[in-house]
Chain A
Amino acid sequence: MKSDLINTDPLIALKQFTDARIAIGRVGDSIPIKESLEFKLAHAHARDAVYSVLDFELLNKRLAEFNLPILSLHSKAFSRHNYLKRPDYGRQLNDKSINELKDYNNESDITIIIADGLSATAINENASELLSALIPMLISANFTIGPLCLVEQGRVAIGDEVGYYLKAKYSIVLIGERPGLSAADSLGAYLTYCPKPGLTDESRNCVSNIRLQGLNYKLAAEKIFYLVTESFKLKLSGIVIKDNNGLINQ
């Protein structure tokens, strides 16, 4: 009965070659219930991740180990719906946050921004672990690090404003990437030398897919550290920074 109902078997051998949803069989011409629900579950995870929020209690507790001041900031986007419709708002700080940064008088080499992006889940699950690997490397190389800035409803370019107001030479933005069906908790790191409002993507470097089952924390931290040191050497960031030590694009 079952093999009549779902014609899969000979194709299953193809599955070893790809993670694509091949060899899922059919009922009539339609997708069998098992696969149909697995797909729905993956989409549910992705949707939930888009609407997830930063867990401040957890993040404050875990980030405390670095003995750095922690600032809580907010973009101009006042809600998730507003954030999704107005990418320009997500790239700018609201007035209260700007005032808070203007009052802050401590220049540093590097400022680290932790923003929810399209998956706060990615931040809640990966940010502190990544920083545990990265911050000691930066400190031992004698970089000074400014406050850790948690940003709600933030996009990548919000790091330009934060870095600018904090007079930082370099910004590292850790942000939740757009969830896919295969991963809803992927963290991206966007690195910008001399951050200031108005920069675009070509002036940044990016390390992507940082998560437990993706690019692991240690390797991600090494990549970021390499890009940071190259940027300070060349006094710029972006596509001009080349993969000289074989670490990038692995």
Chain B
Amino acid sequence: MYQYTVRHKVYKFQDLKTLLAKASPYRSGDVLAGICAETYEERVAAQIALANLPLKNFLNEDIIPYDDDEITRLIIDNHDKTSFSLISSFTVGELRDWLLMNTTDNHSITAIETALTPEMVAAVSKLMRNQDLIAVAQKIEVVTKFRNTIGLKGHFSTRLQPNHPTDDNKGIMASIIDGLLYGSGDAVIGINPATDSPTIAYNLLQLIDNLRLQFDIPIQSCILSHITTTLQLINNGAPVDLCFQSIGGTEKTNSSFGINLNILNEAYDATLSLKRGNVGNNVMYFETGQGSALSANAHHLVDQQTCETRAYAIARKYKPLLVNSVVGFIGPEYLYDGKQIIRAALEDHFCGKMLGLPMGVDICYTNHAEADQDDMDNLLTLLGVAGCNFIMGIPGSDDIMLNYQSTSFHDALYLRKVLGLRPAPEFENWLIKQGITDKLGNLIPINSSNKLLSGLLG
């Protein structure tokens, strides 16, 4: 039982998960779950009670029982007691203050990465303003490698997302060429296939691999099929660079996705064994998003932001190349408007980075959410300042297969320009060599003799 008194009114919170839910900034998904604070005062009372809570308490109270949930077991069994001694005297509020101190830098934060449980990180994020989430995330550098180097300070990458409603080869290739000529694709060329057909996925992997080899492009590809399909593709000898899977923060959520830790272990080992990376061997690509647990009715009355952060415990086990919070895709019943989407994205980016993950964000919305491009521009700029590793690059922001709006090739160029950011170094060299950009990163006008272009048209 936790409590805090405001003007003689005693607010009681029966357990840790209730305290976390009541302390969570307002969002429609927690209202839908019936776990949200009922008044502004109750929310702040919960935040004050949470700020006073020693971090140690998080090790004594599982928000989802250890015996019922393999993610809880993963979190508890992998907790690093040695490094926890560095922060074991902190309350949640003191952790927040410590993170913001000028003397706390990338090195000091990464030193406690394994001391932190997702619940501690979710808790501290609930006490932080957007500005705090940006200021702390901006200190943390998470670098990953496959055929290039992603996440270096001063660099910023994009996933080129050339989706097509019928997985048409030429349609997809046209979007890839368009994107490459705008300097997009250094995080990954990643296709959401329209169906889960292994034959089509094989064919698309081959298509991108041929392009990569023909033009010697330092990039990686991924078809975002179900992980069991990817395993099958690996066994059939397909050129699989990265293994993709959507993950959630409870065992039950993952069951609804048709996965568990055993399947992830198997797929991770299989993908590693291909040894296709030449700069590094981060081979996993995970996607997450607040609301997925509630949507699968698998949230155990835990708030959606805490569920989301628990998913990062899974991600970090597999040293992924990329983790992407698809923040606005889920719809207004979970994140109602631009304000809620922006807050959630900054939380996800911060929490992921705190747990050592190479966070990217799909800055996006659906047409039934109260959001538009202006909200996405705001979020894009905030995430750029926060040091987000990558965003999506989609022709004109409009994904014609998934029917939602994300960020365009142009959006990435805007961010690089206003913040002085550059692509992954290996990819940047390739862009210069191909005459796509000059040494300052400016696009050079394309003419029809461009090799990439004439390759497809000829």
Query: Are A20 and B398 within 8 A (Cβ)?
Result: yes
Q: Closest approach, in angstroms, between the C-beta of B376 and any C-beta of chain A? A: 11
Most buried by B among A21, A24, A118: A21
Q: Does B438 contact A (CB under 8 A)?
A: no
A50 — which chain B residues lie within 8 A by C-beta?
367-368
0/1 interface trace, chain B 140-181, chain A, CB 8 Å (1 if under): 000000000000000000000011110010111111011001
0/1 interface trace, chain A 44-62, chain B, CB 8 Å (1 if under): 0011011000000000000
B448 — which chain A residues lie within 8 A by C-beta?
9-10, 13
Q: Does A197 contact B (CB under 8 A)?
A: no
Tell which of B28, B168, B181 touches A18, judged by Cβ atoms closer than 8 Å: B168
0/1 interface trace, chain A 152-189, chain B, CB 8 Å (1 if under): 00000000000000000000000000111110100000
Query: Are A20 and B333 within 8 A (Cβ)?
Result: no
B443 — which chain A residues lie within 8 A by C-beta?
7, 26, 29
Interface residues of B in 399-428 (CB under 8 A from A): 400, 403-405, 408, 410, 413-414, 416-417
Bound complex: CA of A185 vs CA of B154, how far in Å?
A: 44
Q: Closest approach, in angstroms, between the C-beta of B295 and any C-beta of chain A? A: 10
B4-12, B311-319, B450-458: which lies at the A interface?
B450-458
Tell which of B165, B336, B417, B450 touches A29, judged by Cβ atoms closer than 8 Å: B417
B404 — which chain A residues lie within 8 A by C-beta?
180
Query: Are B367 and A46 within 8 A (Cβ)?
Result: yes
Interface residues of B in 201-225 (CB under 8 A from A): none
A83-91, A107-115, A141-149: which lies at the B interface?
A83-91
Q: Closest approach, in angstroms, between the C-beta of A181 and any C-beta of chain B? A: 5
Q: Does B196 contact A (CB under 8 A)?
A: no
Query: Are A180 and B403 within 8 A (Cβ)?
Result: yes
Q: Does B395 contact A (CB under 8 A)?
A: yes
Q: Does B235 contact A (CB under 8 A)?
A: no
Q: Closest approach, in angstroms, between the C-beta of B258 and any C-beta of chain A? A: 13
A15 — which chain B residues lie within 8 A by C-beta?
174
Q: Report the number of A-B residue pairs with Cβ-Cβ less than 8 Å.
A: 133
Query: Are A11 and B28 within 8 A (Cβ)?
Result: no
Query: Are B32 and A39 within 8 A (Cβ)?
Result: no
Interface residues of B in 371-402 (CB under 8 A from A): 372-373, 394-398, 400
Indicate whether A13 sits within 8 Å of B397 (C-beta atoms), given known contacts A31-B408, A180-B367: no
0/1 interface trace, chain A 4-45, chain B, CB 8 Å (1 if under): 000101110111011111111010011100010001101100
A85 — which chain B residues lie within 8 A by C-beta?
28, 31-32, 332-333, 336
B28 — which chain A residues lie within 8 A by C-beta?
85
Tell which of B170, B336, B446 touches A10, judged by Cβ atoms closer than 8 Å: B446
Query: Are B395 and A178 within 8 A (Cβ)?
Result: no
Query: Are B396 and A178 within 8 A (Cβ)?
Result: no
Q: Does B429 contact A (CB under 8 A)?
A: no
Most buried by A among B164, B336, B367, B456: B367
Query: Are B457 and A13 within 8 A (Cβ)?
Result: yes
Q: Closest approach, in angstroms, between the C-beta of B321 and any C-beta of chain A? A: 25
B373 — which chain A residues lie within 8 A by C-beta?
39-40, 43
Query: Are A14 and B456 within 8 A (Cβ)?
Result: yes
Query: Are A21 and B396 within 8 A (Cβ)?
Result: yes
Q: Does B366 contact A (CB under 8 A)?
A: yes
Q: Does B14 contact A (CB under 8 A)?
A: no
Query: Are A178 and B333 within 8 A (Cβ)?
Result: no
Q: Does B447 contact A (CB under 8 A)?
A: yes
Most buried by B among A11, A26, A184: A11
Query: Are B174 and A7 within 8 A (Cβ)?
Result: no
Q: Does B237 contact A (CB under 8 A)?
A: no
Query: Are B400 and A22 within 8 A (Cβ)?
Result: no
Bound complex: CA of A84 vs CA of B413, how far in Å?
A: 34
Query: Are A17 and B405 within 8 A (Cβ)?
Result: no
Bound complex: CA of A84 vs CA of B285, how far in Å?
A: 31
Tell which of A14, A35, A180 touches B396, judged by Cβ atoms closer than 8 Å: A35
B395 — which chain A residues lie within 8 A by C-beta?
18, 20-22, 24
Q: Closest approach, in angstroms, between the C-beta of A120 and any C-beta of chain B? A: 13
Bound complex: CA of A17 vs CA of B417, how far in Å?
A: 30
Q: Closest approach, in angstroms, between the C-beta of A83 and any C-beta of chain B? A: 9
A29 — which chain B residues lie within 8 A by C-beta?
410, 413-414, 416-417, 443
Q: Which residue of B lies closest to A4 (CB)?
A: B445
Bound complex: CA of A10 vs CA of B447, how far in Å?
A: 6
A20 — which chain B residues lie within 8 A by C-beta?
162-164, 171, 174-175, 178, 394-396, 398, 400
Q: Closest approach, in angstroms, between the C-beta of A249 and any C-beta of chain B? A: 9
B410 — which chain A residues lie within 8 A by C-beta?
26, 29-31
B332 — which chain A residues lie within 8 A by C-beta?
84-85
Bound complex: CA of A208 vs CA of B177, how far in Å?
A: 31
B367 — which chain A residues lie within 8 A by C-beta?
43, 46-47, 49-50, 118, 178-181, 184
Bound complex: CA of A15 vs CA of B178, how far in Å?
A: 10
0/1 interface trace, chain B 93-135, chain A, CB 8 Å (1 if under): 0000000000000000000000000000000000000000000
Indicate whether A21 sits within 8 Å of B398 (C-beta atoms), given known contacts A26-B443, A29-B413: yes
Bound complex: CA of A43 vs CA of B332, how far in Å?
A: 16
Q: Closest approach, in angstroms, between the C-beta of B401 and any C-beta of chain A? A: 9
Interface residues of A in 77-124 (CB under 8 A from B): 84-88, 118
Q: Closest approach, in angstroms, between the C-beta of B39 and any C-beta of chain A? A: 18
Other A-B pairs beyond A19-B165, A20-B178, A178-B367, 16, CB < 8 Å: A14-B457, A15-B174, A19-B171, A20-B394, A21-B398, A21-B408, A26-B182, A39-B397, A49-B367, A84-B336, A85-B28, A86-B32, A86-B333, A118-B368, A181-B367, A184-B367
23 examples of A-B residue contacts, CB within 8 angstroms: A7-B446, A9-B448, A11-B446, A13-B448, A14-B456, A17-B168, A18-B168, A18-B395, A19-B171, A20-B163, A24-B395, A29-B414, A29-B416, A39-B396, A40-B373, A43-B372, A85-B28, A85-B31, A118-B368, A180-B403, A181-B400, A181-B405, A182-B398
Q: Which 8 A/B pairs are nearest by Cβ-Cβ distance?
A: A21-B396, A180-B403, A29-B413, A18-B171, A22-B178, A17-B174, A46-B367, A14-B174
B interface residues with partner A (beta carbon < 8 Å): 28, 31-32, 162-165, 168, 170-175, 177-178, 181-182, 332-333, 336, 366-368, 372-373, 394-398, 400, 403-405, 408, 410, 413-414, 416-417, 443, 445-448, 450, 453, 456-457
